[in-house]
Amino acid sequence: MEGRVLGATVLLCLADVLRAFAIEEKGDVFNRMACPAFLMFDNAAYLADMTFELPCNCKPQEVSSVVWYFQKSTDNHKTTVLTDFAGTVVVDSEHINVSSNILKRFSIRMFSLIVFQAQVTDSGHYLCGTKDGDFFYGYDVDVQPTEHVRVAFLDRGQHVQGNFTDKFFSLFTTFWDWTRCDRCGVRGEQRRIGLCYMRSSQLHPRYRTAVPNVTSCGSRAVPVHFQRAARLRRPEVAIRSCLTPCLKEDAPKEGMQSISNIISKLGEKPWMAKIPTQFHKQVAGSVLVIACPGARPEHAVAWDKDSVRLYRSHYLIGVNKTMRVFIDHGNHLHIRQVQLSDEGTYLCWHEGKTVAAFQLSVFYQKKDKRKFSDPETIFAIKTIGLSYILISIVFVIIHVYRFCRRAFSSSPRL
């Protein structure tokens, strides 16, 4: 018993030491970087549905907590306070969805602001300061949309967008590094995300960029008369095939291969670690969206249904307008109008490893009798009633017009 108490005490002391070390390291960062005399905005660009972190890179030593503010632009004086005045907001990312507003999708950790599943409407200025309205550091965040992303399948000979050059500016795509192969041991795919950027000598000087005279297309540093042209260029994604071997721990051990064929017929592989499986029932005709646990849009994610590989070259959103099953740019698997044929086991690959399985079963729901209090029934009655009134009005107008016309035409002429 004393040993357990002593061990717990040692762990608590170690945690305090690590926390103090982290705070001291953070303090060193603040000591090394002086806050600018005139507030500047660092440019940062992301794709929609991504999660990003904005560190408060400088603050006075006497300030023990920071408050984050959001502002659409310098012209818009409406400012939203994103934190409580203690600067201690922490949220659980598992309970966040895309439809949540920004106040439910952020967290404060070690003076940094974390925004989960960013949306285009989250683009704007993020300011780090105090509750009294003194600002230390600012960001110009550009969240670019995914609705009309341009996709290039390099295996099919497709190419990424070329640069666009005008007299006063040029538009180009800045690509991130290729992701890892999303599967191992079999043919997989790699993605490369590209965001729109502009080069011009007429950018607003208050915005700070990593490369001189270069900023993202949705930045507030872009002059107003250039913004329309910048919005026409879309972000893009390049996709290519890849093949990478599995790690040794994923391969069959010695002595197992000889009996693996027999056991695998029963649906199990003795050398593979069991992955978490979620069982889910879905009503036929409904919409289902499956997310891979722990995955983000910038990660390498792949989906399989039983033994069928759902490659992006065939299942990526936008490849076919009539697709019922597709993968969006946030790595979510969508199934529209679920059918009995959709039953099966869906495997999720994350960074080249299978991490989760979803066992889907489909059932038909018995239709209840309609009631007058149902919203659909009320809507139908209102629509029919309004249509009847409009038809009656038109009918009366036509007959009044015909009556007046006859009356004037039959009147005696002098």
Kindly report, residue by residue over 297-347, the tens digit of the pLDDT: 899 999 999 999 999 999 999 888 888 999 999 899 999 999 999 999 999
Cβ neighbours of 135 (radius 10 Å): 14
The Cα 292–Cα 3 span in angstroms is 41
- Based on the domain organization, do 137 and 154 belong to the same domain? no
pLDDT in tens, 229-280: 998 899 999 999 999 998 876 554 444 444 434 444 444 444 344 788 999 9
90 & 114 share domain: yes
Looking at the structure, do residues 128 and 167 belong to the same domain, yes or no? no
189 & 134 share domain: no
Is residue 269 one of the residues assigned to a domain? no
Query: Comparing C-alpha atoms, which of 175, 79, 66, 176 is closest to residue 131?
Result: 66
35/114 same-domain check: yes
Tokens of 3: 């040993």
- pTM higher than the cut 0.75: no
Do residues 104 and 201 both lie within one domain?
Answer: no
Q: Residue 389 domain-assigned?
A: no
- Domain membership of residue 36 (yes or no) is yes
Q: In this structure, are 134 and 33 located in the same domain?
A: yes
Instruction: Let me know whether 28 and 140 are in one domain.
Output: yes
Same domain, 58 and 126: yes
pLDDT band, residue 17 (cuts 50/70/90)? very low
Helix (H) or strand (E) holding 200: strand 187-200
Q: Looking at 10-149, which runs of residues are DSSP E strands?
A: 41-47, 52-54, 67-71, 79-81, 106-109, 112-115, 124-129, 135-144
Residues 304 and 335 in one domain: yes
Give residue 84's pLDDT band: very low, low, confident or very high (50, 70, 90): low
Highest mean pLDDT: which of 72-81, 156-165, 374-383? Answer: 156-165
- Per-residue model confidence (pLDDT) at position 60: 77
**Whether 347 and 282 share a structural domain:** yes
Sheet holding 308-310, edge to edge: 277-283, 353-363, 344-350, 301-305, 308-310
Share of the chain above pLDDT 90, in %: 44
What are the tens digits of pLDDT across the range 91-144? 444 444 545 555 677 887 778 888 888 899 899 999 988 888 788 889 999 999
Q: Is residue 17 part of a domain?
A: no
CATH number reported for the structural domain that contains residue 80 in this entry: 2.60.40.10
Domain boundary among 144, 169, 184: 144
Q: What is the pLDDT of residues 171-190, one digit of tens each?
A: 999 999 999 999 999 999 99
Q: Is residue 175 part of a domain?
A: yes
| Bridge-based pairing state of the strands 207-208 and 41-47 | parallel
User: What is the pLDDT at residue 410?
Assistant: 65
Which of 87, 116, 144 is the last residue in one of the domains?
144
Same domain, residue pair 29 and 138: yes
d(CA 203, CA 224): 10
Q: Which domain holds residue 316?
A: 274-363
**End residue of a domain, out of 124, 144, 164:** 144
The answer on pLDDT for 24 being more than 50 is no
Domains held by the chain: number: 3
